[in-house]
Structure 1
Amino acid sequence: MVNIKELVDRYQSISYMVNRRINALMRDQLQEEVTLDQFSVIRYIDSQGASTSTELSEVLCVGKSSITALVTRLVDKGLLIRKEDEHDRRVILLALTEKGVEICRAIEERIAQLLSTYINHFEPEEVLNFINTYEKLAQLLDNERRSHSE
């Protein structure tokens, strides 16, 4: 019989250790260009084309005041611009500058090289199973977040 408490304890323990270590390794790849939180913002905006502060706050699970501070720093660094939405001038969109795109791509490449050194220790099927399971967990968490915000 599966002991749920034991599984939860194992998950919490390993999740904490892996996340802390991966985040530390990723911070090393940032080379003082941006912080890990700033990279999360530019990576998300890069994937979406543009975003609002409210959307960033929800997706990254960060307060709106924290997002405002992150965005201001990224604008000051010349990595982001604020622009009016073409369809609703009341909405301010955040988009990457060319410099922001270049830095995002360079950091993503360094992180991909770093993570591939670990992924290569597993069989392709193990990696796919892990990613599929992790995506399923992410979907469950996102569905719960959406249901609470409605």
Structure 2
Amino acid sequence: MPSRKQTISRILGSFQIIRRAMLQQVAAHQSCHDNEDNVSLAQQMTLLTIAARGAMSVKEIAAARMISSSAATQVVNSLVDKGLLIRSQDTRDRRASVVTLGLKYEQLVAARTENAASYLAPIFEALSADELQEYERLNKKLVDALRKTSSPE
């Protein structure tokens, strides 16, 4: 029986294969090339994070994306400069600010998120419906645990 460390090593290797396959699917999909605002992958991921969670501080974005606060600040500033994000005062703390999606990009991000599920579907065809639900459950368990350990205090 393999040790826990060996099993984790194999899982990490499989993550790289899945990640590579997803990136190839995304790169091959036409909507990735129809980007009139020249949004980088890091910026797209930030937009998707805010679309999923709503108004967020830069610290919250950094924790959710598991990047440094300075990296999150750079991405947010570039998106604000492009008019894709709106910065406003945090209602919970008047000294802080939060960012939200601009109206134009709320609609675009929603459409892209829905499209991504359809063109990434072939990656998950190896799983039955029950296996896919179990994979989602286990993935959510890991993500929830990671969010708890990486959330700002």
TM-score (ref. length: structure 1): 0.84
Residue 26 in 1 paired to residue 31 in 2? no
Distance 1:2 1:121, change over 3 A: closer
Map of 2:48 onto structure 1: 43
SS of match in other structure, 1:81: strand
Give the number of the structure with larger relative contact order, counting CA–CA contacts within 8 Å between residues 6 or more apart: 2
Contact 2:84 2:102 in 1 (8 A): yes
Instruction: Percent identity, please.
Output: 26
Contact 1:27 1:35 in 2 (8 A): no
Count of matched residue positions in the alignment of Structure 1 and Structure 2 = 148
Contact 1:26 1:36 in 2 (8 A): no
Contact 2:22 2:123 in 1 (8 A): no
Residues in 2 aligned to 1:69 and 1:28: alpha-carbon distance in whole angstroms = 28
Map of 1:17 onto structure 2: 17
Q: In angstroms, what is the RMSD of aligned CA positions?
A: 2.1
Residue 117 in 1 paired to residue 107 in 2? no
Structure 1 residue runs without a partner (length 5+): none
Residues in 1 aligned to 2:127 and 2:114: alpha-carbon distance in whole angstroms = 20
Structure 2 residue runs without a partner (length 5+): none
Offset of residue 87 of structure 1: 4.5
Deviates more, 1:135-144 or 1:10-19: 135-144
Deviation sequence 1:117-145 (CA, Å, 0-9, x none): 33344211010111111112222323333
